[in-house]
Amino acid sequence: MEFSIKSGSPEKQRSACVVVGVFEPRKLTLPGELIDNASRNHLSDIIRRGDMEGKSGTTLLLHNVPGTLCDRVLLVGLGKEKEFREKEFCQAVRIAVKTLNETGSFDGTIFLTEVPVRKRDVAWRVRQASIIAQETIYRFDQFKSKKDEVRRPLRKLTFAVERRNELTPAEEALTQGLAIAEGMALAKNLGNRPGNICTPTHLAETAMQIAKDHQLECEVLERADMEALGMGSLLSVAKGSHQPPKLIVLHHKGGGAGDKPVVLVGKGITFDSGGISLKPGAEMDEMKFDMCGAASVLGTMKAVAQMKLPLNVTMVVPASENMPGGAASKPGDIVTSMSGQTIEILNTDAEGRLVLCDALTYSERFQPETVIDVATLTGACVVALGQVASGLFANKDSLARDLVDAGEEANDRAWQMPLWDDYQDLLKSNFADMANIGGRYAGVITAACFLSRFTKKYDWAHLDIAGTAWKSGGEKGATGRPVPLLTHFLLQRAGKLH
Ligand code: BES
Ligand code: MN
Ligand code: ZN
């Protein structure tokens, strides 16, 4: 779909459909009033007759409104003006785009981006609106022989801004929004693909394609390379599978040659059966999503490259299946990580931390400014935070704060949890330097504590996205999170948010 920004009067738009908001009860927004004046009270007459109360979630499509140059006017209910916040704004845009797409308009001009949202500027509104528009039309039908096609799909969307001096910031925000949306779509596609297609090799090929498309540097380490580096922990997870593991590295070199990179590490378990500590059968299909950390850092790299951010960003993805083959790790096995620390594998289903710890040690060689790992790491995180916020841990408070702020700004929230030493005791092993599980309590924290033992040499944050990376049930599918959070964090670092 094509996008653009415009400032101008709604009644003068030659568009298949012009979208304006109505507050509850029966109060037109400014662009609505302009159309009302041009049409000699056509809109206010309709509203007075009770066809549109302005309730959030409602729409009314009007044809041939007098005094306008467009074919249609779509009224969208915004709810009460006093209660109009981010959530209501996003919902209004979503329903507007959905309606445009389903009612035959090839193009639309959306004036909802002119409606003030408390504390949010025009750039925020345009960025969010463009992301929501792309999300609304996203379909994953790669494996459906019959695609249910929209007969006259929306091809072009224009977001209106009130003043001419808002055009430049809005256009910049649109470019950012589209890059984020593309990164999210990549993350969703990878997440939604089944385990037999989306293998470690598939993730590596995807990285190589991104590198080719955007002139990034890509390197893929094979099993033999990992053996030479002493990645005994990562390799122990791959042993039970026929799929070869990969360690995938991408470099975006947008900063100065001497600038230290931000390193993004993503868990890439392309299917998590649990291994010998086999998972129960119910919903095990959802463990194809166990590479959503990898998918989100790949999506973020794509967005960063597309925006040509003036920063150095490196991605490291340890990719493997976790399967119960004859050579698989057994409970009680002891492995030596690349850091030299030994690990007693008490549960083969706690495999994410086993692949991540070696990727985190490997990341030291890039002399990172910051390392952020992203992982569908624990069911305990879903119990604690549900599907609203990602779990956040950091060994530096200002980094945690920056990530919380980025999530808030991006509508992709994270919530900080403690990394106190008191929890480290739970990882004690009688036979090795540590165990890979910490018992029944505080599972989301003990997983982070495990990782913290491999991140002493740099500033580090960990995002547990087990609850946020995908949805279950009727709308089962990857969400593309936390691409918006990560990209906002990097935009902030690059000084591209005002
Ligand atoms: N990939 C899972 C975590 C997970 C489970 C994410 C359910 C989303 C939904 C991870 O590898 C895992 O199995 N973790 C175990 C750890 C336990 C054995 C300490 C878990 O959370 O049960
Ligand atoms: Mn597991
Ligand atoms: Zn897992």
> Which residue lies with its CA nearest to atom 17 of ligand 1?
350
In a shared domain, residues 84 and 203: no
> Which residue lies with its CA nearest to atom 22 of ligand 1?
379
* 349 CA → ligand 2 middle, Å: 4
Q: What pLDDT does residue 150 have? A: 76
Atom of ligand 1 nearest to the CA of 437: 19
Q: Which of 97, 125, 159 is the last residue of a domain?
A: 159
Q: What pLDDT does residue 410 have? A: 98
- Taking a C-beta distance cutoff of 8 angstroms, is the pair 252, 312 a contact? yes
Atom of ligand 1 nearest to the CA of 436: 19
Q: What angle do CA 318, 320, 325 make, to 5 degrees?
A: 150
In angstroms, the CA 73 to CA 28 distance is 13
- Taking a C-beta distance cutoff of 8 angstroms, is the pair 262, 484 a contact? no
Atom of ligand 1 nearest to the CA of 269: 1
Atom of ligand 1 nearest to the CA of 279: 13
Identify whether 458 is part of a domain. yes
Q: What pLDDT does residue 152 have? A: 84
* 379 CA → ligand 3 middle, Å: 9
Pocket probe for ligand 1: among 378, 381, 383, the residue whose CB has the most ligand atoms within 8 Å is: 378
Rounded (10°) CA dihedral 333, 337, 340, 344: -30
Count of beta carbons in the 10 Å neighbourhood of residue 459: 16
Element (DSSP H or E) covering residue 251: strand 246-253
> Which residue lies with its CA nearest to atom 13 of ligand 1?
349
Identify whether 177 is part of a domain. no
In angstroms, the CA 139 to CA 188 distance is 10
* CATH number of the domain bearing residue 421: 3.40.630.10
Identify whether 293 is part of a domain. yes
Pocket probe for ligand 1: among 349, 357, 381, 476, the residue whose CB has the most ligand atoms within 8 Å is: 349
In a shared domain, residues 96 and 36: yes
| Catalytic option among 6, 156, 279, 457 | 279
Q: Which of 159, 190, 208 is the last residue of a domain?
A: 159
Structural domain harbouring 203: 182-493
Token pair of 303, please?
Answer: 């967005």
In angstroms, the CA 495 to CA 311 distance is 10
* CATH number of the domain bearing residue 66: 3.40.220.10
pTM over 0.85: yes
- Taking a C-beta distance cutoff of 8 angstroms, is the pair 344, 432 a contact? yes
- Helix (H, G, I), strand (E, B), or coil: what is residue 386? coil
Closest ligand by atom to 464 CA: 1
CA 244 to chain centre: 27
Rounded (10°) CA dihedral 113, 114, 119, 124: 30
In a shared domain, residues 207 and 149: no
In a shared domain, residues 311 and 413: yes
In a shared domain, residues 130 and 208: no
> Which residue lies with its CA nearest to atom 7 of ligand 1?
379
In a shared domain, residues 106 and 198: no
Token pair of 65, please?
Answer: 């409104």
Identify whether 188 is part of a domain. yes
Phi, psi of 421 (to 5 degrees): -55, -30
In angstroms, the CA 135 to CA 53 distance is 27
Atom of ligand 1 nearest to the CA of 376: 6
In a shared domain, residues 443 and 382: yes
In angstroms, the CA 491 to CA 498 distance is 10
Q: What pLDDT does residue 172 have? A: 98
* 266 CA → ligand 2 middle, Å: 15
Token pair of 217, please?
Answer: 């540097």
| Catalytic option among 127, 246, 288, 353 | 353
In angstroms, the CA 268 to CA 476 distance is 20
In a shared domain, residues 81 and 217: no
In a shared domain, residues 155 and 297: no
> Which residue lies with its CA nearest to atom 8 of ligand 1?
466
- Ligand 1 pocket list (CB less than 6 A): 272, 290, 347, 349-352, 376-380, 382, 437, 443, 466
In a shared domain, residues 89 and 193: no
Q: What is the residue-level pLDDT of the chain in tens, covering all 498 positions?
A: 999 999 999 999 999 999 999 999 999 999 999 999 999 999 999 999 999 999 999 999 999 999 999 999 999 999 999 999 999 999 999 999 999 999 999 999 999 999 999 999 999 999 999 999 999 999 999 999 998 887 788 999 999 999 999 999 999 999 999 999 999 999 999 999 999 999 999 999 999 999 999 999 999 999 999 999 999 999 999 999 999 999 999 999 999 999 999 999 999 999 999 999 999 999 999 999 999 999 999 999 999 999 999 999 999 999 999 999 999 999 999 999 999 999 999 999 999 999 999 999 999 999 999 999 999 999 999 999 999 999 999 999 999 999 999 999 999 999 999 999 999 999 999 999 999 999 999 999 999 999 999 999 999 999 999 999 999 999 999 999 999 999 999 999 999 997
Q: Which of 128, 159, 190 is the last residue of a domain?
A: 159
* 269 CA → ligand 3 middle, Å: 6
Question: Active site includes 94?
Answer: no
Q: What is the domain count for the chain?
A: 2
* 465 CA → ligand 2 middle, Å: 14
Identify whether 169 is part of a domain. no
Question: Active site includes 72?
Answer: no
